[in-house]
Amino acid sequence: MWKALDIEEWQERRRSDLAGVGAAVAAIVEGVRKDGDEALYRFTKEFDRIVLEDLAVTPEEFEGAYEEVEDSLIESLAEAEAHIRRFHELQRNRSLWLEEVEPGVIVGVKTTPLDRIGAYVPGGRAAYPSTALMTTVPAQVAGVPEICVCTPPPVHPLTLVALDIAGVDECYRVGGAQAIAAMALGTESIDPVQKIVGPGNVYVTAAKMMLREHAEIDFPAGPSEIGILADSTADPAFVAADVLAQAEHDPHAGCVLITTDAALPAKVGAEIKRQMKNAPRRSIIEAALGNSGYVVAADLDEAIAAMDYVAPEHLSIQVADPLSTLNAVHNAGSIFVGPYTAVAFGDYASGTNHVLPTAGFARVFSGLDVHHFCKTSSVQMIDREGLEWLGGVVETLATAEGLHAHAESVRIRRRKKD
Ligand code: HSO
Ligand code: ZN
């Protein structure tokens, strides 16, 4: 189970899982396009084995959810929400900045939130109130006025409490590829959104990628992964605990340990065995360990290069000098520095976002943040002085491109007497 890995093969496999569900997802998308709400009821019956009475969660259900959740849990959710809000507020751009870069030439950027976004909150195997917070709080901090949430039935009261704490009241009980299709294309009950964010299984991720011409997406965020960089100073019990915490998410989760210590993998393997004995989610863990293993590198540079190739969703650094390793790595969705920084802190409560690119996509995408919910417009403002300062350059370049009217649009202004 816990074995030496060929990381190229490993990565190849994570990508091909997505391609394998393309035809099934296309049929679901077509169903929603054709039949709207009726298709959502039909697919929910077929896939979730639930006969729905209606799609939208009512205000009474939001209110009633509090009665089913313990007070201490509500407090923990509220505290996590506050930390997530604080971290994301730190990312917010000024809504407008302008700077005079030459006399009479002012440039700047105006940031505007999107009008309506969709957040996918997984359900099924477990309730994910933490993901409800991670997807909606940054959108709120960005100033998005309409936030639409889809989550598979039965909707857990904890998810509703989390949404309520975040200040979101539009939620539909629909999951899977059909939820993504509904948010991208719109149905009788669900208005279409401009962008869809949030993690999901391979069906959800494939649907997001397929519907990009209708709604922009954050990035592929599929089954969870961890990469651990460790040397001989790492505690095998901590490493094993992080592996198991990732493995319990999903049978498709994947864990890679890359180490400079040839003796470490066996110690971690023994710890995994010991710690998983009484794990409640043992069968999921066992399946995920089938997609997991280790690589022994000659030195730390080689280990870092291999981890950059993996570009893991979560990177845990458990080496003697973790800050210099942090400096040296390039590709990871979220980075956990030092032996005490369990990935679970970022999953729930440090305030960083846990919606992150998987399957090597951290090479090109960043994790979810406030910027995903905004767009920017560049701004320029030229006065008479700037017209003289820069007008000649524009005229010369426009003439060189043979674009007479461009040059003239500047010349006509320069000729004008005040
Ligand atoms: N590790 C998951 C997030 C999560 N963990 C939710 C616990 N709950 C993907 O980053
Ligand atoms: Zn997790």
One domain, residues 197 and 83: yes
One domain, residues 201 and 73: yes
ipTM for the complex shown: 0.98
From ligand 2's centre to the CA of 130, what distance in Å?
Answer: 10
Q: What DSSP letter does each residue of 164-223 carry, written as one string? A: HHHT---EEE--HHHHHHHHHH--SSS---SEEE----HHHHHHHHHTTTTSEE-----S
Measured in degrees and rounded to the nearest 5, phi and psi for residue 85 equal: -60, -45
Q: Which ligand is nearest to the CA of 121?
A: 1
CA atoms of 197 and 355, how far apart (whole Å): 8
Task: Report the pLDDT value the prediction gives residue 1, as an integer from 0 to 100.
Answer: 79
| 26 has a pLDDT exceeding 80 | yes
Mutate to test the pocket of ligand 1, among 249, 361, 365 (most ligand atoms within 8 A of CB): 249
Q: What angle do CA 173, 174, 177 make, to 5 degrees?
A: 165
Residue 389 placed within a domain: yes
Q: Which ligand is nearest to the CA of 125?
A: 1
Nearest to 390 by CA among 405, 380, 403, 401: 380
Residue nearest to atom 8 of ligand 1 (CA): 347
Average pLDDT over residues 370-383: 98
One domain, residues 208 and 354: no
Nearest to 180 by CA among 153, 162, 198: 198
Nearest to 287 by CA among 241, 247, 255, 314: 247
Task: List Cα–Cα distances, 50 to 45, 125, 177, 187, in angstroms.
Answer: 5, 15, 16, 20
Task: Report the pLDDT value the prediction gives residue 201, as an integer from 0 to 100.
Answer: 86
Q: Per residue in 158-195, pLDDT tens?
A: 999 999 999 999 999 999 999 999 999 999 999 999 99
CA atoms of 69 and 79, how far apart (whole Å): 15
The atom of ligand 1 lying closest to the CA of 354 is 10
Average pLDDT over residues 258-286: 97
For residue 237, the one-letter residue type is: A
Residue nearest to atom 7 of ligand 1 (CA): 347
Task: Report the pLDDT value the prediction gives residue 266, as an integer from 0 to 100.
Answer: 98
CA atoms of 142 and 88, how far apart (whole Å): 9
One domain, residues 358 and 267: yes
One domain, residues 326 and 393: no
From ligand 2's centre to the CA of 268, what distance in Å?
Answer: 19
Most distant pair of Cα atoms in the chain: their distance: 86
Nearest to 381 by CA among 101, 95, 94, 112: 101
Q: Give the catalytic positions in this structure.
A: 313-314
Instruction: Report residue 202's pLDDT band, with 50, 70 and 90 as the boundaries.
Output: confident
Starting from the edge strand earliest in sequence, which strands make up the sheet with 146-151, in order? 171-173, 146-151, 116-120, 195-197, 216-217
Q: What angle do CA 253, 330, 323 make, to 5 degrees?
A: 95
One domain, residues 46 and 195: yes
151 C-beta closer than 6 A to ligand 1 = no
One domain, residues 148 and 40: yes
Average of per-residue pLDDT values in the chain = 96
Which residues face 230 on adjacent strands? 259, 318
Task: Report the pLDDT value the prediction gives residue 291, as an integer from 0 to 100.
Answer: 92
Residue nearest to atom 5 of ligand 1 (CA): 347
Q: What is the CATH number of the domain that holds 66?
A: 3.40.50.1980
Measured in degrees and rounded to the nearest 5, phi and psi for residue 11 equal: -70, -40
| Last residue in a domain, options 160, 188, 218 | 218
Task: Report the pLDDT value the prediction gives residue 125, as an integer from 0 to 100.
Answer: 61
Instruction: Report residue 14's pLDDT band, with 50, 70 and 90 as the boundaries.
Output: confident
Residue nearest to atom 4 of ligand 1 (CA): 347
Task: Report the pLDDT value the prediction gives residue 274, as an integer from 0 to 100.
Answer: 97
One domain, residues 150 and 233: no
Mutate to test the pocket of ligand 1, among 130, 159, 368 (most ligand atoms within 8 A of CB): 130
Taking residue 154's Cβ as centre, other Cβ atoms within 10 Å add up to 13
Do strands 374-382 and 105-113 pair parallel, antiparallel, or not at all (unpaired)?
Answer: antiparallel
Average pLDDT over residues 104-132: 93
Residue 377 placed within a domain: no
347 C-beta closer than 6 A to ligand 1 = yes
Query: Annotated binding site, which residues?
Result: 120, 178, 201, 224, 246, 249, 314, 347, 401, 406
Residue 241 placed within a domain: yes
356 C-beta closer than 6 A to ligand 1 = yes
Q: Which ligand is nearest to the CA of 349?
A: 1
From ligand 2's centre to the CA of 131, what distance in Å?
Answer: 10
One domain, residues 74 and 183: yes
**Structural domains in the chain (count):** 3
Q: Which ligand is nearest to the CA of 315?
A: 1
179 and 1 in contact (C-beta within 8 Å)?
no
Residue 330 placed within a domain: yes
One domain, residues 271 and 125: no
The residue with tokens 């997406």 is: 217
CA atoms of 360 and 147, how far apart (whole Å): 29
Residue 269 placed within a domain: yes
Rounded to 10 degrees, what is the CA torsion of 211, 212, 218, 219? 80
Residue 29 placed within a domain: no
DSSP H helices in 49-117: 59-65, 71-89
Nearest to 93 by CA among 143, 133, 58: 143
| Last residue in a domain, options 169, 196, 218 | 218
Close Cβ partners of 105 (under 8 Å, ≥ 6 residues apart): 380, 382, 386, 389, 390
Q: Which residue has the higher pLDDT, 71 or 14?
A: 71
Average pLDDT over residues 341-355: 98
Task: Report the pLDDT value the prediction gives residue 15, as an integer from 0 to 100.
Answer: 77
For the chain, the C-alpha Rg in angstroms (whole number) is: 25
116 C-beta closer than 6 A to ligand 1 = no
Residue 123 placed within a domain: yes
One domain, residues 183 and 262: no
Nearest to 190 by CA among 114, 134, 119, 112: 119
> 182 lies in which domain range?
36-92+114-218
From ligand 2's centre to the CA of 383, what distance in Å?
Answer: 54
Task: Report the pLDDT value the prediction gives residue 13, as an integer from 0 to 100.
Answer: 83
Query: Annotated binding site for substrate, which residues?
Result: 224, 246, 249, 314, 347, 401, 406
DSSP H helices in 248-358: 264-276, 282-289, 300-310, 322-328, 343-348
Residue nearest to atom 10 of ligand 1 (CA): 354
| 124 has a pLDDT exceeding 80 | no
The residues whose Cβ lies within 5 A of ligand 2, an ion, are 347
One domain, residues 283 and 351: yes
| Last residue in a domain, options 218, 242, 267 | 218
From ligand 2's centre to the CA of 306, what distance in Å?
Answer: 23
130 C-beta closer than 6 A to ligand 1 = yes
From ligand 2's centre to the CA of 312, what distance in Å?
Answer: 13
- How much is the pTM? 0.95
Residue 24 placed within a domain: no
- Percent of all residues in the chain with a pLDDT value above 90, rounded to a whole number: 91
